[in-house]
Structure 1
């Protein structure tokens, strides 16, 4: 196929992929100096008004939903020969299908991706859109400042509004589509996408799509906790009345189940244990109890991969790329090292968590290490500017368990500061309704655990002196 030289003002460099209806090309926006993906309707379909309208409708739907967990559309137009095209996010790390070709994902990445994808599906459902074709090739992966972002693509067979309940022809992909999608007039609703989410999650956990009936994921991968089996298998129930009613409830069930493993370890002994943590002298960051289900590492979904708690990427939360020189998010006339400001702002803006802020991150770094990037406390097994323990940081670093456990010398500010944001965004959800200052409750969670803060109805007495320091520093750093 001959490469078109351009699509409007966008230069076209090479083909990324082709399908039955359209071809996707790698392009470049010279005005903004940014790579883009350009989807062009195939010439043999361009004269079909119904196909053409469906193609344009896909672009409109993606633009209307405008979620970071969906491919985002920036522009639309026509080539000189009349073929329509639209310009969208470029996924520089390929598709989930390509990644799964190497086998199942690490548990932390699989769970982070599942929750990130579920948020995208819920964003569609909030607009009365049912995707109907959730599968690995329709999940794209893009690198971000915080790690990675998982993005849903291809709304070519999506159903919208009252069309959901009208006559529906069979559509979807074997292995991932709900049984009702194989029926004429099966009228798939949001629960069909819940099935697709379950199938995607199953594939990420086990390395293969589910069969019929689906075996528990833990039978195929012993790193999967049995408590996850029930959540995933309910999503895959053949009877849609028994599935999770919504994508967000599916994601919430994953999160709640992981929380329950806090007191019931179910992973192989090769993983860090409670005794390991006691030996390190710091009981915070109990993530090893669910073998790295650091869903906040997205970077997912994440992280992570990006998690479920994805912020700090591409300015998604209004993070200034120049380190906030005017002090909108963090005071400038303080002892905060200039070279760490952007990292602190990124971490403090990772999610919309009550009490979370760049000032809190800066205050905690001051209390932890006095901003000393080379801090080393071997007796407590804590290192770096944020006093991380290597065997715990491995779960919250960019990429999670995709990357090896860092050595003390590798625990740089670039690694450890963003991990603070991921950690507190994930565990902060457990603090809802806990009395006291939300910021100080987060700080105490970082030093102990969310469970201890909930049990103490606020900052535990053991960490009161620490949070008093944090409070003082917050006042110094808050704009």
Structure 2
């Protein structure tokens, strides 16, 4: 299956983005002379009936809501090769994640954007839908109709949303750490609309402070002194670990946010910043990793009260590359990796994404590249059934399932499905989650992270650095690291 040239009557122009389960393409409706976004299920999931149904269900839910505050679906169909797709609103000004790459928004602007997101979530809740994955990359920005400087905020991605008739059934962990409520990390945590209140609180915090909330749940005014104390109180209540103490609904959170704000100016939002502005068999992610992960699906992602994460906050609770510079980093891989090195060009954007997933001592794209070289020699087809390790990063399927997009809410990948697009970003998630345990451990932070990837954070902490067994591996990583760091 190659790159599609068309989806039904819609021309496909270029790739906008891709994840482990679907890709989004810029297309054109030539009959209506209008750009559209086309979401296509990834080919390696096309034969999975349950995944296909979830994909189609997302389109149905978006169509059902039919709100301008959510991405709207116009059409649905199948490519000639059988992959389902749906056609939706094109967000020509990117995502909120990209907007936040430049840092916190001015307070009035941040609160105005937050209120628009709240209204979109209210539209979902009015129809009995809980989003469950509110985060900056799922908030899109589109030019307002008629041109000019106005913008429209739209919520996207209902891939893990739950409707009223399913909220009482068994639920698996789902969401994005840093933004998901504590109950979402539990099997049968029965997340209701208060889980989205937590997500709204985390998004509002990020808008105001320039980073997602860390475990300490400090007031956003500590990062942005212009934030009023009353706004601090409203946001922190939304982030309460105990959902009984949160605002009971998105509507209540929105009202409280408005009442706490003395003035929200009504000027149009500014233009978006320019685009440039073991794993192992239970070896590796290791026996220690798997033991921790398998301690129960409810605790596997064990995010705790502040939701520190696998995707956004670093060991110090600061914002990660994905929530800060990382949104732009992949556009300029040579800024992060030596241009003349043997790091394959086609993998550099993924490596930069993983290496800037969070802000953490030792983590960098050069480290990810060095580890991939040591693990597989950049071989995307590596297969080691004896160790149950596959792909460019030598993942074990039963471990990768925790670090893939959506975590346990999605099926365990088969060896043939462990592509670089799935396995390289998972390294960033893994290192950002467990790496926080290494704070204060002596030695080179980068090599401590590399050793942790081979064994576990517990072993590295107990050894006060790289365990003797893994020093040959980290020495190899150190050599490659020197080769890959930009001059």
Tell me, in whole angstroms, the C-alpha distance in 1 between the residues paired with 2:12 and 2:98.
23
Gap change, CA 1:137 and 1:56, over 3 Å in 2 = same
Q: Which residue of 1 aligns with 2:54?
A: 54
Cα deviation for residue 234 of structure 1 reads 0.7
Tell me, in whole angstroms, the C-alpha distance in 1 between the residues paired with 2:182 and 2:271.
30
Q: Which residue of 2 aligns with 1:196?
A: 199
Which deviations, in whole Å up to 9, do the C-alpha atoms of 1:226-245 show, x marking residues without a partner?
Answer: 11101101100111111111
Cα deviation for residue 304 of structure 1 reads 10
Q: Which residue of 2 aligns with 1:150?
A: 153
Q: Which residue of 1 aligns with 2:188?
A: 185
Tell me, in whole angstroms, the C-alpha distance in 2 between the residues paired with 1:80 and 1:184.
38
Q: Which residue of 2 aligns with 1:117?
A: 117
Tell me, in whole angstroms, the C-alpha distance in 2 between the residues paired with 1:230 and 1:68.
30
Tell me, in whole angstroms, the C-alpha distance in 2 between the residues paired with 1:124 and 1:53.
20
Tell me, in whole angstroms, the C-alpha distance in 2 between the residues paired with 1:58 and 1:124.
13
Map of 1:39-188 to 2, 5 A cutoff?
39-144=39-144, 145=146, 147-188=150-191
SS at match of 1:162: coil
SS at match of 1:156: coil
Cα deviation for residue 298 of structure 1 reads 5.1
SS at match of 2:165: helix
Which deviations, in whole Å up to 9, do the C-alpha atoms of 1:83-110 show, x marking residues without a partner?
Answer: 1100000001111111111100111221
Query: Out of 235, 239, 244, which is 2:242 matched to?
Result: 239
Map of 1:77-476 to 2, 5 A cutoff?
77-144=77-144, 145=146, 147-258=150-261, 261=262, 290=263, 293-294=264-265, 296-297=266-267, 299=269
Cα deviation for residue 116 of structure 1 reads 0.5
Q: Which residue of 1 aligns with 2:471?
A: none
Tell me, in whole angstroms, the C-alpha distance in 2 between the residues paired with 1:8 and 1:297.
40
Gap change, CA 1:252 and 1:52, over 3 Å in 2 = same
Structure 2 unmatched runs, 5+: 273-487
Tell me, in whole angstroms, the C-alpha distance in 2 between the residues paired with 1:143 and 1:9.
24
8 Å CA contact retained: 1:28, 1:36: yes
Tell me, in whole angstroms, the C-alpha distance in 1 between the residues paired with 2:268 and 2:159.
27
8 Å CA contact retained: 1:141, 1:149: yes
Cα deviation for residue 183 of structure 1 reads 1.1
CA RMSD of aligned residues (A): 1.6
Larger Rg belongs to:
1
Which deviations, in whole Å up to 9, do the C-alpha atoms of 1:55-87 show, x marking residues without a partner?
Answer: 000000000001111000011111111111000
8 Å CA contact retained: 1:113, 1:304: no
TM-score by length of 2: 0.54
Which deviations, in whole Å up to 9, do the C-alpha atoms of 1:321-349 show, x marking residues without a partner?
Answer: xxxxxxxxxxxxxxxxxxxxxxxxxxxxx
Which deviations, in whole Å up to 9, do the C-alpha atoms of 1:289-310 show, x marking residues without a partner?
Answer: x4xx22x4455xxx999xxxxx
Tell me, in whole angstroms, the C-alpha distance in 1 between the residues paired with 2:112 and 2:267.
7
How many residue pairs were aligned? 269
Which deviations, in whole Å up to 9, do the C-alpha atoms of 1:432-457 show, x marking residues without a partner?
Answer: xxxxxxxxxxxxxxxxxxxxxxxxxx
8 Å CA contact retained: 1:24, 1:40: yes
8 Å CA contact retained: 1:149, 1:298: no
Structure 1 unmatched runs, 5+: 262-289, 306-479
8 Å CA contact retained: 1:109, 1:304: no
Q: Which residue of 2 aligns with 1:26?
A: 26
Q: Which residue of 1 aligns with 2:338?
A: none
Tell me, in whole angstroms, the C-alpha distance in 2 between the residues paired with 1:181 and 1:240.
11
Cα deviation for residue 163 of structure 1 reads 1.1
8 Å CA contact retained: 1:216, 1:233: yes
SS at match of 1:16: strand
Which deviations, in whole Å up to 9, do the C-alpha atoms of 1:334-373 show, x marking residues without a partner?
Answer: xxxxxxxxxxxxxxxxxxxxxxxxxxxxxxxxxxxxxxxx
Cα deviation for residue 2 of structure 1 reads 4.1
SS at match of 2:102: coil
Tell me, in whole angstroms, the C-alpha distance in 2 between the residues paired with 1:298 and 1:64.
29
Tell me, in whole angstroms, the C-alpha distance in 2 between the residues paired with 1:181 and 1:155.
15
SS at match of 1:27: strand
Tell me, in whole angstroms, the C-alpha distance in 1 between the residues paired with 2:87 and 2:109.
28
